[in-house]
A and B are shown apart, each in its own frame.
Chain A
């Protein structure tokens, strides 16, 4: 055996030398182990492909290419089987290096990288990960139901109040009608009917709120007004708070804050924190127990902060470090699972947000729930979806509207048709987005809360002279499109109400015209 072959015997990977017809010239000891045949049996096999079976003609083509191009060629990951163990698939990467021996003979040195173990471990990892996700979903639901159980008794009381009113008024109404059917006081009847209607509406709201909270929904995110989510959360716990004589103060910088999130999960976070705040205040039996909630647009961090502050006893420093750990609880046995805050943490991470203690002292604790701006949230989700597509020729569309229903409608329209939609509720935030990311088309509601689409378009044109802009408006504002069509190069108009097909056609036509 030549010296170079002796060297190959010392290498810890399977090495084979073959001729141009894939016949064995040499193989090292590791190759003998790799193919799980004894040397005696292996000697009887003439060709590489008699021992390592690779689909189609991939191996032969690899060898031909290495020889004709006179360079090393590495294969992609190949499915193969060994003649010794045909029922088991292996996954290998082959490097073929051609060598000329003298003037005539072509040899090819094959080194084999066996990836089978990594492949199988990855499959196992995926299965375990999916099981963990499933388990986490169940834990999350269990935590929700446990909280619902705690507040259920008080919700029953809350429902009984309007029910009593409705029943009482109905009874009075019946008595009045029966007493004097010919002389009905219609104003009084109308007033009583309204009382009944209001009472029943309140009950319906409570029931809807509860069922939404308890619903084990999917992970889908949509555009929601964060303030309405907080109000819904407060409605769920307000009765307990009244019972414990704890006041709630809620303030927000604006009347509406659109975010892109899973409403049910965010509500779960808020209810969890409000429940914990109530429990903290109860510990010290405070007479003037109070929880303050603020929603702030944090311009420094470019996010939305929801502050929930109680005037309970505070959380000791050594416990603060542990409260987000699973199964850690300071509550008595049977009272807390220790899962509430870890679940909240995970929910916020999945929303590209965060939850943390801002401050804690003997005067109380302030938690911050941090959410990304609506533009960031929708960009992260939609762009990640697009990146997973092999053929990423998706079109990125920015939709600016301060109505969550409109944004959700467009989200549905553009879902899965090769479009990636980013929603924004504010022209100023949308302009920042245009500085950072490439946008292929902009759809803007004409009457935004702080400006008009005309003013918005003027600012866009200073940065991006040719990106197509479509106005979204009701028929009575079409004149603005006519005015801006030429001066601001507005490509088209969508009038409400609209249908999916017409939107898609208009977008495709607009993009086609842009390319021309």
Chain B
């Protein structure tokens, strides 16, 4: 199930999504807020399937083309879907930040690191250090594939 929390920060509509984006997802409450800037926070999205993507694309198609859209804190599942389906990111929208998987071999720890899109150069994972042992962590994915959306 998808939960949507919306609030206005000055003239920006802040939207926080939580749960699953699927065939049952309805985005009407966001469309009811007519503004010219939207910030979408995907931190708490656990799953998105192909029907959810279709519903998402219908939804963002209804937002005025002149509106500014920012995708924030995209979870790993969102990034993976973004890389598979053209159109998830609305034309003109930008991705501010997202989570990427890292692994520390000595400590056997997996983390999801919040990265800013600006920090990604040449589709390479930035260097991240383990908070426990300070050693450089390994990017736990396929770089070419994961950063393809940038």
Contact = CB atoms under 8 A, between A and B. Distances in A.
Q: Do A and B come from one complex?
A: yes
Interface string A338-362: 0000000000000000000000000
A45 interface: no
B141 interface: yes
A32 to B, nearest CB: 7
Contacts of B110: 38
Given A29-B145, A33-B80, A124-B23, A39 B50 contact: no
Contact of A38 (B50, B51, B141): B141
B23 A121 contact: yes
Interface residues of A, number: 10
Contacts of A117: 49-51
A38 B140 contact: yes
B84 interface: yes
Given A29-B145, A38-B140, A40-B138, A121 B51 contact: yes
Contacts of A32: 142
Interface in B63-121: 80, 84, 101, 103, 110
B140 A39 contact: yes
Nearest to B102: A38
B80 A38 contact: no
The prevalent SS among residues of A at the interface is helix
Contacts of A39: 140-142
Contacts of B51: 117, 121
A181 interface: no
Interface residues on chain B, size class:
10 to 19
A38 B145 contact: no
A104 B141 CA distance: 34
Nearest to B138: A40
Contacts, number: 23
B61 to A, nearest CB: 22
Contacts of B84: 12, 33
A32 B84 CA distance: 13
Contacts of A12: 84
Contacts of A124: 23
Nearest to B140: A38
B68 to A, nearest CB: 31
Interface string A20-51: 00000000010011000011100000000000
A29 B142 contact: yes
Nearest to A116: B49
A29 B50 CA distance: 18
Nearest to B80: A33
B140 A40 contact: yes
Contacts of B101: 38
Contacts of A121: 23, 51
23 contacts: A12-B84, A29-B142, A29-B145, A32-B142, A33-B80, A33-B84, A38-B101, A38-B103, A38-B110, A38-B140, A38-B141, A39-B140, A39-B141, A39-B142, A40-B103, A40-B138, A40-B140, A117-B49, A117-B50, A117-B51, A121-B23, A121-B51, A124-B23
Given A32-B142, A38-B101, A38-B103, 6 more contacts: A29-B142, A29-B145, A33-B84, A38-B110, A40-B103, A40-B138
Interface of B: 23, 49-51, 80, 84, 101, 103, 110, 138, 140-142, 145
